[in-house]
Amino acid sequence: MGLEILSRIGLTPNEIKVYDALLSLGSTPAGEIIKKTGLFRPRVYEVLDRLIGRGLVSFVVINGVKNFQASNPQRLADYIEEKEGELKDLREGEIGSLIRLLEKKRNVPETDIRVYMGFKGVKVVLDDMLNELRNSGSYVAFAGGQFKPKMGVYYDKFQNTKKRLRVKSRFLYDESMRERKDILETTFGKWRFHEKKYHSPTDMFIFNDKIIMTVWNAEPYFAIYIKNKEVAKIYKGYFNLIWKIAKP
């Protein structure tokens, strides 16, 4: 694993290059860093200022010359924790207000259809559903039992998030799912069973005025998001009709 992973916590390529040079050089004047990195002097000083501001580099003055050195690498963990705290505060404060303002301005068509591809795409649209339903919202789903096999550990995370956000859910499975204790015992919600002959390779989540259909028997698998009040109402009614005659 190389230092390029530091780009994931916000360091630029030049910052990584200078930090890496300091790790091997130890306490050193800027001239040695310039030689080691090949960067121009003004750019090196700009980078050093930013790294000092992040607490990743420190300096001492020896005989009137600044000598720079990399902080203890443990500082990286502290820096990440600080950034997480800043982002949390930002999300709960200013960003939260900005999101609400932008949602009011956003022009969303009465019918909205989108396709989300692969693991990340399906995760995004299902996470969005839970965020919309947080604090006692609810959804119903025609479930085929492929969510957990296809999405792996995300399935358990999804269920835990649903429980934490107090999102209610009901599922309709076919009878073959009675034996799938690995799924039923980790699923937060209520379910009933219908005949095996109606088994489907897709899942359909219905909530508010929206539908999410996950198609698992494709490569890559994908999700279709549909926002349409009348369509959602029809499928919700269809679900409730089957729910009444399905077996616990």
Q: What is the CATH number of domain 3-73?
A: 1.10.10.10
**Type of residue numbered 189:** G
Q: What is the per-residue pLDDT across 216-245, written as a single tens digit (0 to 9) for each?
A: 999 999 999 999 999 999 999 999 999 999
Terminal CA-to-CA distance of the chain, rounded, Å? Answer: 51
Q: How many helices (H) and strands (E) does the chain have?
A: 10, 10
| Token pair belonging to 59 | 């300096």
Q: What is the per-residue pLDDT across 2-35, written as a single tens digit (0 to 9) for each?
A: 677 788 778 899 998 998 898 889 888 999 999 9
Q: How far apart are CA 139 and CA 166, in angstroms?
A: 12
In this prediction, residue 107 carries a pLDDT of 60
| 218 secondary structure, DSSP code | S
Q: Which H helix or E strand runs over 214? A: strand 210-215
Sequence ranges of the domains in the chain: 3-73, 76-107, 110-245
Q: What is the CATH number of domain 110-245?
A: 3.30.870.10
